[in-house]
Structure 1
Amino acid sequence: MAKVIVIVGPTASGKSALAIYLAKKLGAEIISADSRQIYRGMDIGTGKVTKTEQKQIKHWLIDIVSPKTNFSAAQFKKLADKKIEDILKLGKLPIIVGGTGFWIKAVIDNVEFPKVKPDWKLRKKLDRKSADALFTMLQNLDLDRAAEIDQFNKVRLIRAIEIA
């Protein structure tokens, strides 16, 4: 992977200010890796940079999805990879900034996502079950995947069952 600066941390910890400072000094552009800032209109409580700040330094992947739309780490990775490539072609340095660790990991570690599309009916049905019940189901379907997963994370358990 080409050189990329990554700034991570919790909401309102100064990540964006640092990214803007570095971008000005280094001639960089910023890619937001925040699972809330990606949504249009979600400005309160997300620490989203202001329009003025966005005009000072080019920011990508902010306000691009309707809040009514589901948006996954796989979708983020695809867009972020393209933006990194585009920024590098301009001779600039990409700065990835955000607090959504899995999204950042997906890009930096080049995580490959299963090609299985989300099954919303199945997810709704499985969401009614406890984490223990979901973990047992996963063990019956895919013992290897069950051995590697957080058995208390219902979202990941449901996705693992969906893939199995």
Structure 2
Amino acid sequence: MKLRLAVIVGPTACGKTWLGVRVAHRLGSEIVSADSRQVYRGLDIGTGKDLEEYARVDPPVPYHLIDVADVREIYSLYHYQRDCYALMQELARRPPFADGKGPVLLVGGSGLYVEAVLREYRIADVPEDAALRERLMQE
């Protein structure tokens, strides 16, 4: 069974998280973040994680794909899409989503992340080429 997905997107600081939390709370849903900076642990200032917003409702709204990568590691669009699809498969197996009730909310402002998920971009996991990087840095 495919997971039902609703999307809330918009520019920085327009209230996406605030709206997403209220919609998810009303629907008994969960939020999957689609933000290229919120994936990093420790980058709390300037990324608009608004983690306290998820707990302003009772019960708190579960959220995903925030604080999943260390700032020292490479976490590309490939990694986000892979993790998002794995998460969606997991969510689709449990209630209420397995019963076809309520969509999961994809909320964020990183348009490329949203598009990669919705349009099922085919992205290769390309390893880093240290020699090429060094050569380009010299130019």
**SS of the counterpart of 1:76?**
helix
TM-superposed deviation, 1:2: 3.6
Structure of higher CA gyration radius: 1
- In structure 2, list runs of 5 or more residues that go unmatched: 98-102
The 8 Å contact of residues 21 and 53 in structure 2, kept in 1 or not, is answered as: no
Amino acid in structure 1 at the alignment position of 2:90:
D
Amino acid in structure 2 at the alignment position of 1:32:
S
More deviation in 51-60 or 36-45? 51-60
1:50 partnered with 2:54: no
The 8 Å contact of residues 11 and 46 in structure 1, kept in 2 or not, is answered as: no
More deviation in 21-30 or 91-100? 91-100
**SS of the counterpart of 1:56?**
coil
The 8 Å contact of residues 16 and 108 in structure 2, kept in 1 or not, is answered as: yes
TM-superposed deviation, 1:80: 0.4
Number of the residue aligned with 1:94 = 104
CA distance in 1, matches of 2:136, 2:7: 35
Deviations 1:97-121 (Å, cap 9, x if unpaired)? 1111111111110001124323243
Deviations 1:106-162 (Å, cap 9, x if unpaired)? 111000112432324313433565xxxxxxxxxxxxxxxxxxxxxxxxxxxxxxxxx
Q: TM-score w.r.t. structure 1 length?
A: 0.70
CA distance in 2, matches of 1:2, 1:56: 22
**SS of the counterpart of 1:16?**
helix
Number of the residue aligned with 1:105 = 115
* Among candidates 65, 68, 75, match of residue 72 of structure 2: 68
TM-superposed deviation, 1:31: 0.6
- In structure 1, list runs of 5 or more residues that go unmatched: 130-164
Taking only aligned residues, the RMSD between alpha carbons, in angstroms, comes to 1.9
Aligned residues: 129
The 8 Å contact of residues 40 and 66 in structure 1, kept in 2 or not, is answered as: yes
Structure number with the bigger relative contact order (C-alpha 8 A, sep ≥ 6) is 2
Amino acid in structure 1 at the alignment position of 2:63:
H
